[in-house]
Amino acid sequence: HATKKTMADHLRKFESLFTLTPQRMRMIVEAFKETLELGLTKPKQIVPMIPTYVFGWPTGEETGDILAVDLGGTNLRVCLVTLQGAGKFEITQTKYRLTEEQKQEDGQRLFDFCAECLKTFVDTSLADETSGLKIKEGEKLPLGFTFSYPCSQERIDHGELIRWTKGFGAPNTEGQDVAAMFRKSLEKFDLPIELTALINDTTGTLIASHYVNPATKIAVIFGTGCNAAYMERVGDIPKIKNLGIEDDAEMGINCEWGAFDSFEHEHLPRTKYDAIVDDTSNKPGEQAFEKLISGRYLGEILRLVICELIDEGVLFLGQNTYKLEAPYAFDTAFLSLMESDPTDELLMVVGIFSHFFAVETTLAERQFFRALARLIGRRAARLSACGIAAIVGKMGYLEEGCAVGADGSLYNKYPGFADRVHEGLVDVFGDKGRNIVTHHAEDGSGVGSAIIAAMTKIRK
Ligand code: ADP
């Protein structure tokens, strides 16, 4: 019995599994840079580097009342944005929760639901005199539709869904023009609204962040999913050369970098828990980078480690653990809570396990869980740093430095996430890595969407 392992012994194994060395990070960055270039050169690559048809940065002088609908991974949000010029704006919004069933039901019904929520919002805003919203006879309100799934676009108000991500699976949608589908739903509800721009949340975040902080060159999202956007010179996007757009024009690129290393699994350090997350997901093989990083998966990775230790008889012997054994039962928000527990006894962790999972924990176990959360959260942040470093390196932003607009619950709520990204950048670049600073972005999927819709109006 002298060989019985303590929780600290178990932890050591996971430390080596989940730790990323600076050297390994630099290898990932190199592979990532090549992948980004490949996506710009040839169509239909794993990381598709999607041209967004958002041309250049906003001037800050865009004005008007614009609606925005944001179909994120977790919520549906409807906003009215009033752009006042000079970089100023006001926003009112309502959130509607999406059920798991809605994510899997017929695509047209999903868009009908979006249009119905939009109608409720517009009717309420029109009835409310303080909202300031008025629509003149025969006039249509512009709408920016933030649809944060990979779409291939030929112009700003169109986009074919390449594939669903983030757990969505609505049939009859992949391969279709989602802007046209949404227009059809808008017609059903007879709304005086014109869908002028279909955008990705990363592109919106890029534009909205630049609107308030012109040092912004890159935007990243760490929410249910994980993705990035930046501004590219058209001449450096070989795959769209034939469109005849002038080389020196600039266009936003939606990287869809969550797909990095999909199928090949050559570059990223995957543990067996990551492999299980992948195999049991609704899209095995896809979104390999995202599955190591984003909010949808971090809790699940930790849960799988716990389940293995339950099976091995290390944890919760004699207790009923069925609640912990349900897939996705352990939300990533629990990792945040565990990491921020200020008490020596880890009372927050006691509460999570007893209240949500009906199991009792020892202090040693709780310390183990918290340490495990740190490992998983830290790995996610350092991998994110690799993605940012790849764009920075490719674009040559290191010397001058740049701001990176970042958004999503993981970035905004996970304690220390931003610091860990910054540490990761220093591990990749050395001291110069400090020139790259992430900051909480302006509301990209609302305000950004509206600014892009307004930019589009001006350009027409
Ligand atoms: P979306 O990406 O769907 O637009 P969010 O940015 O809010 O929305 O991301 C939702 C994801 O963030 C969920 O996967 C959830 O588990 C995770 N999440 C929510 N709250 C927290 C938190 N406090 N800490 C870490 N992750 C969180």
| Each residue's pLDDT tens digit, 105-140 | 999 999 999 999 999 999 998 888 777 778 788 888
Contacts of 396 (CB under 8 A, 6+ apart): none
Residue in 69, 71, 74 to alter for ligand 1 test, most ligand atoms within 8 A of Cβ: 74
pLDDT recorded at residue 458: 59
Q: Does ligand 1 have an atom closer than 6 angstroms to the CB of 409? A: yes
Active site residue 201: yes
Half-sphere exposure of 13 (CA within 13 A, CB side): 9
- Tens of pLDDT, residue by residue, the chain (460 residues): 557 899 999 999 999 999 999 999 999 999 999 999 999 999 999 999 999 999 999 988 888 999 999 998 778 999 999 998 887 899 999 999 889 899 999 999 999 999 999 999 999 988 887 777 787 888 889 999 999 898 999 899 999 999 998 889 999 999 999 999 999 999 999 999 999 999 999 999 999 999 888 999 999 999 999 999 999 999 999 999 999 999 999 999 999 999 999 998 999 999 999 999 999 998 999 999 999 999 999 999 999 999 999 999 999 999 999 999 999 999 999 999 999 999 999 999 999 999 999 999 999 999 999 999 999 999 999 999 999 999 999 999 999 999 999 999 999 999 999 999 999 999 999 999 999 999 999 888 899 999 999 998 755 5
Q: Which atom of ligand 1 is nearest to the CA of 297?
A: 14
Please provide the distance, in angstroms rounded to a whole number, between the alpha carbons at the two ends of the chain.
77
Angstrom distance (rounded) from CA 367 to CA 254? 40
Element (H, E) at 116: helix 107-127
Catalytic residue among 201, 261, 278, 443: 201
Active site residue 185: no
Q: Does ligand 1 have an atom closer than 6 angstroms to the CB of 103? A: no
For ligand 1, atom 24, name the residue with the nearest CA: 333
Q: State the sign of the Cα–Cα–Cα–Cα dihedral 32, 33, 39, 42.
A: negative
Cα 437 to averaged position of ligand 1 atoms, centre (Å): 22
pLDDT recorded at residue 146: 95
pLDDT recorded at residue 55: 95
Cα 409 to averaged position of ligand 1 atoms, centre (Å): 4
Quickly list H helices, 229-331.
272-279, 290-293, 295-311
Cα 99 to averaged position of ligand 1 atoms, centre (Å): 15
pLDDT recorded at residue 314: 96
Domains of the chain: 53-211+443-459 (3.30.420.40)
Does the ipTM surpass 0.95?
A: yes
3-state secondary structure of 54: strand
Identify the DSSP state of 322. T
Q: Does ligand 1 have an atom closer than 6 angstroms to the CB of 445? A: no
pLDDT recorded at residue 8: 94
Q: Does ligand 1 have an atom closer than 6 angstroms to the CB of 227? A: no
Cα 417 to averaged position of ligand 1 atoms, centre (Å): 13
Q: Does ligand 1 have an atom closer than 6 angstroms to the CB of 302? A: no
pLDDT recorded at residue 1: 54
For ligand 1, atom 11, name the residue with the nearest CA: 224
Q: State the sign of the Cα–Cα–Cα–Cα dihedral 194, 200, 201, 206.
A: negative
Structure tokens at 114: 């979006």
Active site residue 270: no
Cα 223 to averaged position of ligand 1 atoms, centre (Å): 5
pLDDT recorded at residue 137: 80
For ligand 1, atom 7, name the residue with the nearest CA: 409
CA distances to 178, 249, 329, 336, 370 from 413, rounded to whole Å, are: 31, 37, 19, 7, 16
3-state DSSP of 190-247: CCCEEEEEEECHHHHHHHHHHHHCCCEEEEEEECCCEEEEEEEEHHHCHHHHHHCCCC
Q: Does ligand 1 have an atom closer than 6 angstroms to the CB of 331? A: yes
Cα 332 to averaged position of ligand 1 atoms, centre (Å): 7
